[in-house]
A and B are shown apart, each in its own frame.
Chain A
Amino acid sequence: MTTVDLKLYQVGTFAAGNRLLPLEDRTVQAHPDRSNSITSGHRACQGCGEVLGARYVLDAAMRATGGDLVAVNATGCLEVFSTPYPESSWQLPWLHSLFGNAPAVASGVAAALRATGRGHTRVVGQAGDGGTVDIGFGALSGMFERNDDVLFVCYDNEGYMNTGVQRSGATPGGARTANTKAIGPEPGNAFGQGKNMPRIAMAHEIPYVATATVADLHDLERKVEKAMTFHGARYLHVLVPCPLGWGSASKDTILLARLAQRSGIFPVFESEGGEVTAVTPIRRRVPVEDYLRPQRRYSHLFGAHPRPDVVARIQAGADRSIARYGLLADSSEK
């Protein structure tokens, strides 16, 4: 009889932890001493993906740096729900300046630390998709181009949710927002190239670029830890579903992130120096419809006047992504 290497098939790959795993093999989130960089009492909506993403990223970064970390935050939901006077939910040094300047502020922090012999303290900049791909775009590109020692994290919920769900440069085609309503012959947001920020970041040939979702904690944490092994500009793009903006149930936040990955709509990959170095293969692929249907922002595609043509177009986009990144290749075990 041949024996096989023992693997924890029950869990160990996707769940946060397991009583059978040594502590160091569990996620940071499953660790009793996780830093809870953002703690209870914040005012994020029920089932908020962004606050989950932020805690996942920052707790992992805190572990990777031994707590020697500061964070810079753009204006947006994450800032508003975390620091309404007189209460802050943050448990690490944190600075909020403006909507469009988080990358530059982070660059300044990093420069100050370096100039004063505190380069060991690492800097994370964070913003939503608006603060990243739109209003903060120039600052972010500058930070990349100068290769400032900052990990910049975009929590992408595909719209301006804090201001009432308007479209951003990261809003996908066909999606309904407050200013791209399901009105007229082409309901929802127009189809375009959008701003594919991870690829734009890669074009700067910075040391490390990665995408992740809140649905795969191990993958996300590993990427944060890996990012922290580099110096210079790094970019992490995390898909964080928004129950409010997407019109989804609060319990479905992680499910939708998972379906985005499984449908190929959101490719999960890593890049070093501008080259794709690894992809997270799709496990149990699903059609984009599985991802679209639970979201009211796409309900006009399936209602009384269904738009299979639009769904097909979204599917074609996912198919292109799958082909581009080779997402259906043999699964690699982590």
Chain B
Amino acid sequence: MPGQRLSQIEGSVAVAQAVARCRPSVIAAYPISPQTHIVEGLSDLVRGGELIDCEYLMAESEFGAMSACIGASAAGVRTYTATSSQGLLFMAEALFNASGLGLPIVMTVANRAIGAPINIWNDHSDSMSMRDSGWIQLYAESNQAAVDLHVQAFALAERLSVPVMVCMDGFVLTHAVEEVELPEQEQVDAFLPRFVPQQLLDPKEPVSIGAMVGPEAFTEVKYLMHAKQVQALDEIPRLAADFEEMFGRPGGGLVAPYRTDDAETVVVTLGSALGSVEEVVDELREDGVRIGALGITCFRPWPLDEVRAALAGASRVIVVEKAFAVGAGGIVGQNVRLALSGLPATVYDVVAGLGGRPITRASLRGLFRDVLEDRMDSRSLHFLDLDVELVERELARTRLGGTGPHAEHMLRALVGVGAVPPGPEAPVGEES
């Protein structure tokens, strides 16, 4: 296709442009940082007449925004919204409803931490908390990926009648200005067919959408919902292939393996951290370490077979993720362990980048070295760059520093992670 544009553009603006080219009919949103630039951009496009036949509805809350999307989608139109953090949680009830009703809404989540304490910076606590909401979750490692995933998200959502969340790291991606190849309108039109809803509110063919279902059929409804999500595991690679054919570049897919073919150690991550991980992988490869990386593009549905295949040859798997299940452990890590069930690999769960803390190459290198040199307990949850001295002091000060086998085990593990010293190196990449 001629005239593909490479431009220096803010991630949010790029996403707004890409979404506009998908020709949504209704956009309903409520502002929250760091999603704001996306919806502001779309508002401009609607008001400026660039995005025609589209209603931009300024909702009174995220709950209202998602609810309006539910209504619009049930009325049979392509529907979009974007949110972050608290906003996503405020939508929670409606998210489950949208997926339960099988409404193909596409939403951008500009990932941000969840309070308290309130924190506007990036991590994945928000989208991870909604991992079981029945939405497909796609994670963008870059702004280009974000743009490409949005185009595919509409196609995916509408093909399966299931809502799709495209997650992109707040600020790290949304506010980063970098080169992005925007899809041309004609290409999008060719790639994304006109929306034909599975069901809609139509006076000519009335139906009752949103029935109450009791024990006699609820399990079956939920099974069918699960089956539909699982179908996405077949649909997503097909779409990725179609996308590459149409746009001349790869994009999407379930997972993104990087130098995993002979890797003994594979680092699993998602979102923008993948870039830094890959850089450190390259550095270690130069040192002769057989290490690779696996980006999880599609976290929901969980591509168990693809993850298992990508990690089949690894003896160590390090999962670096920006959220965790408090009191339990890593979230992605648990899913990875499930994928590796029966295989001998050791899985290390590492929480990193919470509330906007940079994930530096140095820290990653230290972490990987600790794993490679068996300084880490695979049964504990590790926190990258944790200020060990501070938490020890705080635990000692409060009655939480009590004794008992579980508490003592946790303290021992804390010492282990403390072996990774903060290096003299300055933070790298965009994570500043």
- Chain A contacts of B212 at CB under 8 A? 79-80, 83-85
In the complex, which residues of chain A have a beta carbon less than 8 angstroms from the beta carbon of B25? 112, 115-116
CA distance A142 to B76 in the complex (A): 23
Name the CB-closest residue of A to B195. A116
Residues facing A in B19-38 (CB within 8 A) are 25-26, 28
Take A108-B26, A108-B72 as given contacts and tell me if A96 and B63 are in contact as well, using a CB distance cutoff of 8 Å.
Answer: no
- CB of A194 closer than 8 Å to a CB of B: no
A85 and B55 within 8 A (CB) = no
Interchain CB contact under 8 A, A108 and B28: yes
Max chain A CB contacts within 10 Å: which of B28, B64, B217? B64
Q: Which residues does chain A contribute within 8 Å of B79, judged by CB atoms?
A: 108, 112
Of chain B, the residue at the smallest CB distance from A144 is B60
Contact of A104 with B59 in the complex, beta carbons under 8 Å: yes
A325 within 8 Å of B (CB atoms): no
Contact A101 B67 (CB under 8 A): yes
Indicate whether A116 sits within 8 Å of B53 (C-beta atoms), given known contacts A84-B211, A88-B208.
yes
Is there contact, CB below 8 Å, between B67 and A97? yes
* Interface residue from B55, B71, B205, B217 paired with A105 (Cβ < 8 Å): B71
Q: Are B209 and A101 in contact (CB under 8 A)?
A: no
Instruction: Provide the A27-69 mask, 1 if CB < 8 A to any CB of B, else 0.
Output: 0000000000000000000000000000000000000000111
B28 proximity list for chain A (CB < 8 A):
107-108, 111
A70 at the interface (CB under 8 A from B): yes
- Contact of B210 with A83 in the complex, beta carbons under 8 Å: yes
Contact B213 A113 (CB under 8 A): no
Picked from A101, A121, A146, the residue with its CB within 8 Å of the CB of B70 is A101
Question: Which residue of chain B has the shortest Cβ distance to A88 in the bound complex?
Answer: B208
Q: Are B214 and A108 in contact, CB atoms less than 8 angstroms apart?
A: no
Across the interface, do B63 and A93 meet the contact criterion of CB distance under 8 Å? no
- Whether a CB of chain B sits under 8 angstroms from the CB of A210 is no
A67 to B203, CA, bound (A): 7
- Pick the residue among B63, B68, B93, B202 that contacts A108 (CB under 8 A): B68
Whether A111 pairs with B57 at a CB distance below 8 angstroms is yes
The secondary-structure label for the interface of chain A is mixed
Which residue of chain A has its CB nearest to the CB of B208? A88
Say yes or no: is B49 at the interface (Cβ < 8 Å to chain A). no
Q: How many Å from the CB of B252 to the closest CB on chain A? A: 27
On chain A, the residues within 8 Å of B217 by CB distance are: 85-86
With contacts A112-B25, A116-B25, A142-B59 taken as known, whether A94 is within 8 angstroms of B70 at the C-beta atoms is no
Interface residues of A in 88-140 (CB under 8 A from B): 88, 90-98, 100-101, 104-118, 121, 138-139
B49-85 at interface with A (beta carbon < 8 Å) = 53-55, 57-61, 63-65, 67-77, 79
A161 within 8 A of B: no
Nearest Cβ on chain A to B204's Cβ, whole angstroms: 9
Instruction: Tell me the bound Cα distance from A110 to B26 in angstroms.
Output: 10
If A105-B70, A107-B68, A116-B53 touch, whether A98 touches B206 (CB-CB below 8 Å) is no
Does A233 sit at the interface, judged by CB under 8 A?
no
Q: Are A70 and B201 in touch, CB under 8 angstroms? A: yes
Interface residues in B, total, Cβ within 8 A: 45
Q: Is the CB of A25 closer than 8 A to any CB of chain B?
A: no
Q: How far is the CB of A143 from chain B (nearest CB, A)?
A: 8
Contact A95 B201 (CB under 8 A): yes
CB <8 Å contact, B68 and A93: no
Interchain CA distance A107-B203 in the complex, whole Å: 17
Docked Cα-Cα span, A195 to B313, in Å, equals 65
CB of A315 within 8 Å of the partner chain? no
Determine if A145 is an interface residue (Cβ-Cβ < 8 Å).
Answer: yes
Q: Contacts A70-B201, A139-B67; is A111 near B55 (CB within 8 Å)? A: yes
Q: Is the CB of A138 within 8 A of B68?
A: no
Whether B75 lies near A70 (C-beta < 8 A) is yes
Residues of chain A with a CB closer than 8 A to B9's CB: none
Distance between Cα atoms of A170 and B26 in the complex (Å): 34
Most B CB within 10 A of own CB, among A100, A109, A141: A109
Which of B75, B206, B216 makes the CB contact (< 8 A) with A109?
B75
Q: Which residues in B have their C-beta under 8 angstroms from that of A114? A: 55
Q: Which residue of A lies closest to B96 (CB)?
A: A98
- A72 CB–B CB distance under 8 Å: yes
Provide the residues of chain A in CB contact with B71, threshold 8 Å: 72, 95, 97, 104-112
- Cα–Cα distance between A79 and B211 once the two chains are bound (Å): 8
CB-CB under 8 A for A101 and B64, given A96-B209, A112-B25, A146-B57: yes
Residues of chain B contacted by A139 (CB below 8 angstroms): 60-61, 63-64, 67
B residues near A100, Cβ cutoff 8 Å: 63, 93
Contact of A94 among B75, B208, B216 (CB under 8 A): B208
Residue pair B63, A115 in contact (C-beta under 8 Å): no
Residues of B within 8 A of A104 (CB): 59-60, 63-65, 67-68, 71
The interface of chain A, by Cβ under 8 A from chain B, is 67-70, 72-73, 79-80, 82-86, 88, 90-98, 100-101, 104-118, 121, 138-139, 141-142, 145-146, 148
Chain B residues proximal to chain A, CB less than 8 Å: 25-26, 28, 53-55, 57-61, 63-65, 67-77, 79, 93-94, 97, 101, 201-203, 205-214, 216-217
Pairs A–B under 8 Å by Cβ, sample size 10: A70-B203, A83-B212, A108-B73, A108-B74, A112-B72, A112-B77, A115-B54, A116-B53, A141-B60, A146-B57
| 7 more CB-based (< 8 A) A-B contacts, given A92-B206, A108-B68, A116-B76 | A94-B206, A95-B71, A95-B201, A101-B93, A107-B59, A111-B28, A112-B55
